[in-house]
Amino acid sequence: MTSQDLAERLFGALIGAAELLTVQLGRELGLYAALRTGPHDPAGLAKAAGIDERYAREWLEQQAAAGFLTAGAGSFALEPGAAEVLLDEDNAAYAGAAAEFALGAALLTPAVIDAFRTGAGVPYAEYRHIRHGIAGFNRPLFTHQLTGEWLPAVPEVDRRLRAQPGAAVLDLGCGMGHSSVAMARAYPAITVRGVDLDEDSITEARRAAAAAGVADRVSFTVGDAAAAGGTYDLITVFEALHDMGDPVGVLRNARELLTGGGSVLIADERVSDEFTAPAGEIERLQYAFSVLHCLPATRAENPVVANGTVLRAPTLLGWARDAGYPTSEVLDIENDFWRFYRLR
């Protein structure tokens, strides 16, 4: 890469980062929601969203310049399809969470700089916007693919979840609970227990279960995945193992909680088996997340292992062997971001 290439790449990244933050303005202030009802001029948007008219005009013009809105005759409207991407959190095209990620990473960068100097960490609880970004990014995957594609791709697991009496499921690192809720909605006989260290995430998860009408079969507990108890037919860990400070301990505990014939299903980052540079776009993104969030958050837990976001398949399968699983395999499930594993 020449110096000119690098300079142009950084300039493009600056444009993207700045535009992501303006997207977050539109999300948090309800500007896109107001435009969803129809076109607005600056005065109309200011009134509809309760903001200052001068700021409304500047934001509308910027969004149109960026190509997110159309402009005509003094009014502005959402581009076709923009509502699905920016507002509809269950839509498969939803990507509004990217703006929340950008804001969360920017706000905590000074703390990460300090952590680099001291070797300490940045507690996960401080990453409020990142927490919502993770949930927002993963929610459409859980809504559309978890029970429609991923679990049916493992017929033995799918049959057990559909059988009577209902299976017991443990969802470790459940975050805001969208995976737990999706499984309960798709498999009416099962019960699901979600466990996560983050108290605010568990509060949100309980709200999600109540809103979905499955709170009678889905419960959530603040706790350490390495110390969870009970007996389960299926244990899931979705994009969380790489953040856990004692991954072998978590997997060892999960093995002890399985019923006969039970399985652990893991989804974690789809990255190369070995370090390569330069890397592809997805691995570049994962490494950036690791530097800014995953590694600092794990270091704050006094971990046994601080893996970071980039969890390679040989590493995970090695953890499974160390945890005592006789069988561990990479599943043939396609996804651009995640690789899937079954341990038993």
How confident is the prediction along the chain (344 residues), in pLDDT tens digits per residue?
A: 899 999 999 999 999 999 999 999 999 999 999 999 999 999 999 999 999 999 999 999 999 999 999 999 999 999 999 999 999 999 999 999 999 999 999 999 999 999 999 999 999 999 999 999 999 999 999 999 999 999 999 999 999 999 999 999 999 999 999 999 999 999 999 999 999 999 999 999 999 999 999 999 999 999 999 999 999 999 999 999 999 999 999 999 999 999 999 999 999 999 999 999 999 999 999 999 999 999 999 999 999 999 999 999 999 999 999 999 999 999 999 999 999 999 99
> CB count, 10 Å around CB of 19?
18
Peptide bond into 80 cis (omega under 30): no
Using CB atoms within 10 A of its CB, is residue 193 exposed (0-12), middle (13-18) or buried (19+)? Answer: buried
Cα(333)–Cα(316) distance, integer angstroms: 17
CATH 1.10.10.10 fits 3-84, yes or no: yes
Six token digits for residue 261: 């014939």
- What number of other Cβ atoms are within 10 A of residue 256's Cβ? 12
Question: What would be the CATH architecture of the domain defined by 97-343?
Answer: 3-Layer(aba) Sandwich (3.40)
Residue 291 tokens read as 């530097």
Domain ranges of the chain: 3-84, 97-343
- pTM for this predicted structure: 0.94
Q: Are 255 and 325 in contact (CB under 8 A)?
A: yes
Question: Cis peptide before 278, with omega less than 30 degrees from 0?
Answer: yes
Q: How far is CA 217 from the centre of its chain?
A: 23
Neighbours of 161 (CB within 10 A): 21
